[in-house]
């Protein structure tokens, strides 16, 4: 759909003055401080510090280590990219506490504990004016404003220091999952944000983008990511979708172009992720990069990466603002990496594509009630940074036994093609649900080079009929829980999802119901279920007789009536879980590399280098070359010429030459660094700090932040 030019676009096109000023001067990167999530408002992951260079990086040593003391064994994480401002680090702990540390020594200065810790946290937002300095911090469905010097709530903000993000969404979302995992972005006196909301087969909140006054907490504007009647994009949905469909949220975080007054919002998929019979149409603005006027929330331009998403192919990270050099001029660009392993590059003011793309024909669905989009868009350049097809030739040959086991299953699932729809037989998702790219995102330097890490892991999506349960508890489980815990209740250790088979041995009945009601760690609240439904699913999980209310005549009808009244109808299919395809020994079913780090020149669309990222030490000991590993958390690039990255399951922290990809230095962390590192300078000394929280991909959990620097002498 062609949209009229906005005032922002008109002003930009009416003058060439912006092209006469080096755009790298207009958007300063991080330097002495690391004042924003991922370094700056451009999400560039770039720092102008250059004390650490390829020539001296081997001299890095641990400067300090700080322990939070609140990790849960093998089940907690730290995904936080910390802020560093005037010699103070602001970060979060595994238990979602906010802390301030002395950036020189790691000494704890203060600690703030929220009332209802929930979810995971990937970063924080800083705002300051004059003597005012505040940290804006998301926890569960609350946005907190904390005084940066004292760690105390700012009473004048919202309700005594916090804002309930479940309010002001235009419909009742009581009991639905809402978590602010990723920090908002600042534009003048506004904090602009979205939330993580439910994506499963149950009811879910809408993920509208909103701006709040940073001083008062008052909501200033809202952009309806699921359009209301009369709004552009409304025709891409069923007429009542705005009242009942959920998701479509900018969960990865956003970026801001202050010069042009634009906020860039990567909007996620609509519910249910894997069956769209209740949302027939292209589903705008799901799976899109949406660009808004940051002052008003007015739509400026958008591009949809996946029509009628059935694969959870939402954009996974904040888009990166950078400068692309073409024909002697500088073009203000925005680059969006995707889970499918592609990079989309646009003129960030006009929305013009800077590389060619095409719409390809894709298969239709054979699930009753589903209408898959007949075409999907793909960029023709740059080439994908992850493999796109899982063929017989790609099956692992690590051992004859591994090859045979994977080959046998390969012939029982659907042949793999990009955008093959979900199926009962099993559909290969490659790269998997966690990318390709993931929430760590990409780094960019002023030369227009993008650095992005990627996982090359196949997953299998299988659909089952969600009807036919023998009890209310089983039906509630099939409708709401199988996507994570699986139809067999075995969970997924690699995905940090526990088995529920032994829940009776681990939790009392009361504790079971409390977790269902309130959520815990990465599990959201399922408080929208009625008390009877919660009691029933607890009985099912524990192998106990259902509560008396659940066996009364009409209990199942009551369940349906409750949801139909709210506009929600349970889908006829549900997925059996987010299942990585591994061989019998626990290694990926595909040939290596299983994880890579890539440098792409976005001026030309060509790759400068591509290397495996991460190792399995036991395979190296057997003489295998580096395979790469699944990875979470992004890179950091510096003017000094270094790319720093943790991210890998081998618990290593590495430094690479940004020009060549040659590994220059590595060190073992206390736990895997599934977070994007930050760099800063204090007293003339450059530090690099990373959260070591582990807890994903079957690795141990940790509770530390570790800072590295060159020796003082």
551-609: pLDDT as tens digits: 544 444 455 445 444 567 788 999 988 899 999 999 999 999 999 999 999 999 999 99
Residue 449 above 90 pLDDT? Answer: yes
Q: Say whether both 166 and 224 belong to one domain.
A: yes
Residue 433 above 60 pLDDT? Answer: yes
Q: Say whether both 82 and 161 belong to one domain.
A: yes
- DSSP-assigned letters across all residues of 172-234: --TTS-EE--S--EEETTEEEE--EE--SSS---B--EEEEETTT--EEEEE-SSPPTTSTTG
- DSSP-assigned letters across all residues of 245-292: --B---TT--EEETTTTEEEEEE-PBSSTT--TTS-S--TTTTEEEEE
Q: Say whether both 451 and 525 belong to one domain.
A: no
Tell me the three state secondary structure of residue 352. coil
pLDDT bin (cut points 50, 70, 90) of residue 9 is: very low
CA end-to-end distance (rounded Å), the chain: 61
Residue 412, in any domain of the structure: no
Residue 555, in any domain of the structure: yes
- Return the CATH number at 172: 2.140.10.10
For residue 310, what pLDDT is reported?
98
Mean pLDDT of 236-240: 97
Tell me the three state secondary structure of residue 148. coil
Average pLDDT, the chain: 91
Residue 627 above 80 pLDDT? Answer: yes
337-359: pLDDT as tens digits: 999 999 999 999 999 999 999 99
Residue 63 above 70 pLDDT? Answer: yes
pLDDT bin (cut points 50, 70, 90) of residue 15 is: very low
Radius of gyration of the chain (CA): 24
For residue 549, what pLDDT is reported?
61
Mean pLDDT of 460-464: 95
Burial class (CB in 10 A: 0-12, 13-18, 19+), 17: exposed
Question: Rounded to 5, what percent of the chain is helix, strand, coil?
Answer: 15, 30, 55
> In angstroms, rounded to a whole number, what is the distance separating the alpha carbons of residues 558 and 472?
10
Q: What are phi and psi of 619, to 5 degrees?
A: -80, -35
Q: Measuring CA to CA, which residue among 257, 277, 251, 133 is closest to residue 196?
A: 251
Share of the chain above pLDDT 70, in %: 91
Q: Measuring CA to CA, which residue among 21, 40, 18 is closest to residue 29?
A: 40
For residue 535, what pLDDT is reported?
82
Share of the chain above pLDDT 90, in %: 77
Q: Say whether both 219 and 178 belong to one domain.
A: yes
- Return the CATH number at 566: 1.10.760.10
Last residue of a domain, one of 538, 570, 602: 570
Q: Say whether both 516 and 629 belong to one domain.
A: no
650-691: pLDDT as tens digits: 999 999 999 999 999 999 999 999 999 999 999 999 999 999
Q: Say whether both 617 and 648 belong to one domain.
A: yes
For residue 566, what pLDDT is reported?
55
For residue 511, what pLDDT is reported?
79
Q: Say whether both 189 and 223 belong to one domain.
A: yes
Q: Say whether both 535 and 437 belong to one domain.
A: no
Helix (H), strand (E) at residue 565: helix 555-565
Last residue of a domain, one of 536, 570, 604: 570
The distance between the two most distant Cα atoms of the chain, rounded to a whole number of Å, is: 79
For residue 427, what pLDDT is reported?
98
Q: Say whether both 152 and 252 belong to one domain.
A: yes
Mean pLDDT of 533-541: 83
For residue 505, what pLDDT is reported?
82
For residue 215, what pLDDT is reported?
97
Mean pLDDT of 235-259: 97
Classify the phi-psi angles of 51: left when phi > 0, otherwise alpha if psi is within -120 to 50, otherwise beta: alpha
pLDDT bin (cut points 50, 70, 90) of residue 20 is: very low
pLDDT bin (cut points 50, 70, 90) of residue 200 is: confident
> In angstroms, rounded to a whole number, what is the distance separating the alpha carbons of residues 237 and 246?
12
Q: Say whether both 222 and 342 belong to one domain.
A: yes
Residue 576, in any domain of the structure: no
Mean pLDDT of 415-443: 96
Cβ pair 284, 250 in contact under 8 A: no
Residue 368, in any domain of the structure: no
Residue 425, in any domain of the structure: no
102-122: pLDDT as tens digits: 999 999 999 999 998 888 999
Q: Say whether both 205 and 67 belong to one domain.
A: yes
Residue 472, in any domain of the structure: yes
Lowest mean pLDDT among 81-95, 174-188, 274-288, 519-533: 519-533
Query: Is the backbone peptide bond immediately before 635 cis, with ω within 30 degrees of 0?
Result: no
Mean pLDDT of 300-319: 98
Cβ neighbors of 684 (< 8 A, separation 6 or more) are: none
Buried b (16+ CB within 10 A) or exposed e, 300-315: bbbbbbbbbbbbbbbb
Residue 203 above 60 pLDDT? Answer: yes
Tell me the three state secondary structure of residue 576. coil
Q: Say whether both 687 and 667 belong to one domain.
A: yes
Q: What are phi and psi of 479, to 5 degrees?
A: -75, -30
**Domains: count for the chain:** 2
Cβ pair 380, 356 in contact under 8 A: yes
For residue 551, what pLDDT is reported?
54
Buried b (16+ CB within 10 A) or exposed e, 351-374: beebbeeeeeebeebebeebebbe
Classify the phi-psi angles of 265: left when phi > 0, otherwise alpha if psi is within -120 to 50, otherwise beta: beta
pLDDT bin (cut points 50, 70, 90) of residue 297 is: very high
Mean pLDDT of 125-135: 95
Q: Does this model's pTM top 0.95?
A: no
Range of the domain at 542: 467-570
Residue 89, in any domain of the structure: yes
Characterize the bridge pairing of strands 685-694 and 262-267.
unpaired
For residue 23, what pLDDT is reported?
33
Residue 407, in any domain of the structure: no
Tokens linked to 137: 């911090």
Report for 64-78, 523-537, 672-686: range of highest mean pLDDT: 672-686
Tell me the three-class secondary structure of 583-623, residue by residue.
CCCCCECECCCCEEEEEEECCCCEEEEEEECCCCHHHHHCC
């Amino acid at each position: 759909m062609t949209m009229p030019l906005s005032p922002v676009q008109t002003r930009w096109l009416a003058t060439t003055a912006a092209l006469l000023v080096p755009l790298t001067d207009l958007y300063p990167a991080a330097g002495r401080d690391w004042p924003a999530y991922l370094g700056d408002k451009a999400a560039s992951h770039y720092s102008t510090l250059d004390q650490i260079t390829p020539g001296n990086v081997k001299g890095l040593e641990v400067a300090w280590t700080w322990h939070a003391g609140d990790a849960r064994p093998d089940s907690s994480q730290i995904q936080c990219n910390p802020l560093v401002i005037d010699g103070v680090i602001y970060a979060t702990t595994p238990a979602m506490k906010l802390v301030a540390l002395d950036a020189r020594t790691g000494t704890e200065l203060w600690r703030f504990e929220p009332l209802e810790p929930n979810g995971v946290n990937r970063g924080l937002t800083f705002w300051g004016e004059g003597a005012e300095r505040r940290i804006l911090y998301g926890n569960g469905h609350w946005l907190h404003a904390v005084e940066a010097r004292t760690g105390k709530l700012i009473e004048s903000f919202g309700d005594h220091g916090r804002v309930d993000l479940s309010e002001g969404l235009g419909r009742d979302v009581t009991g639905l999952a809402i978590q602010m995992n990723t920090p908002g972005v600042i534009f003048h006196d506004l904090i602009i944000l979205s939330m993580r909301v439910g994506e499963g087969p149950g009811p879910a909140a809408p993920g509208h983008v909103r701006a709040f006054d940073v001083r008062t907490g008052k909501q200033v504007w809202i952009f309806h990511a699921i359009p209301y009647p009369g709004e552009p994009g409304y025709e891409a949905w069923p007429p009542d979708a705005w009242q009942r469909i959920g998701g479509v949220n900018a969960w990865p975080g956003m970026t801001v172009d202050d010069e042009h007054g634009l906020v860039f919002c990567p909007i996620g998929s609509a519910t249910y992720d894997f069956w769209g019979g209740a949302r027939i149409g292209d589903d705008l603005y799901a799976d899109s990069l949406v660009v808004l006027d940051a002052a008003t929330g007015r739509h400026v331009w958008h591009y949809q990466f996946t029509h009628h998403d059935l694969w959870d192919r939402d954009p996974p990270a904040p888009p990166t603002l950078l400068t692309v050099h073409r024909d002697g001029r500088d073009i203000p660009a925005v680059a969006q990496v995707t889970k499918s392993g592609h990079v989309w590059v646009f003129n960030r003011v006009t929305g013009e594509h800077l590389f060619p793309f095409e719409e390809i024909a894709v298969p239709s669905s054979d699930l009753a009630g589903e209408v898959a989009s007949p075409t999907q868009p793909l960029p023709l350049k740059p080439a994908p940074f992850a493999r796109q097809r899982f063929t017989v030739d790609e099956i692992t040959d690590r051992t004859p036994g591994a090859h045979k086991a994977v080959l046998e299953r390969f012939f029982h699932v659907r042949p793999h093609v990009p955008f093959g729809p979900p199926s009962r037989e099993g559909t290969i998702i490659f790269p998997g649900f966690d990318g390709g790219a993931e929430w760590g995102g990409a780094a960019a330097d002023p030369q227009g080079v993008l650095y992005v890490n990627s996982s090359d892991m196949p997953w299998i999506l299988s659909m089952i009929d969600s009807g036919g349960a023998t009890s209310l508890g089983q039906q509630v489980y099939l409708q709401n829980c199988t996507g994570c815990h699986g139809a067999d209740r075995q969970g997924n250790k690699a995905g940090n999802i526990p088995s529920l088979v032994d829940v009776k041995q681990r939790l009392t009945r009361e504790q079971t119901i409390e977790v269902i009601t309130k959520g815990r760690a990465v599990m959201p609240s399922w408080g929208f279920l009625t008390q009877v439904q919660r009691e029933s699913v607890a009985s099912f999980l524990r192998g106990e007789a259902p509560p008396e209310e659940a066996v009364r005549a009409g209990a199942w009808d009551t369940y349906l009536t409750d949801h139909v009244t709210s506009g929600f109808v349970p889908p006829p299919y549900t997925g059996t879980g987010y299942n990585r395809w591994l061989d019998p020994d626990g290694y990926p079913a595909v040939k290596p590399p299983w994880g890579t780090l890539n440098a792409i020149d976005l001026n030309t669309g060509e790759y400068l280098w591509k290397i495996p990222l991460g190792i399995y030490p036991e395979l190296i000991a057997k003489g295998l070359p580096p395979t790469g590993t699944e990875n979470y958390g992004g890179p950091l690039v510096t003017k000094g010429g270094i790319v720093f990255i943790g991210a890998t399951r081998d618990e290593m922290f590495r430094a690479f030459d940004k020009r060549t990809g040659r590994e220059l230095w590595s060190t073992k962390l206390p736990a895997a660094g599934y977070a994007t590192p930050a760099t800063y300078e204090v007293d003339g000394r450059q530090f690099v700090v990373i959260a070591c929280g582990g807890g994903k991909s079957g690795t141990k959990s940790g509770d530390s932040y570790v800072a590295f620097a060159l020796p003082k002498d």
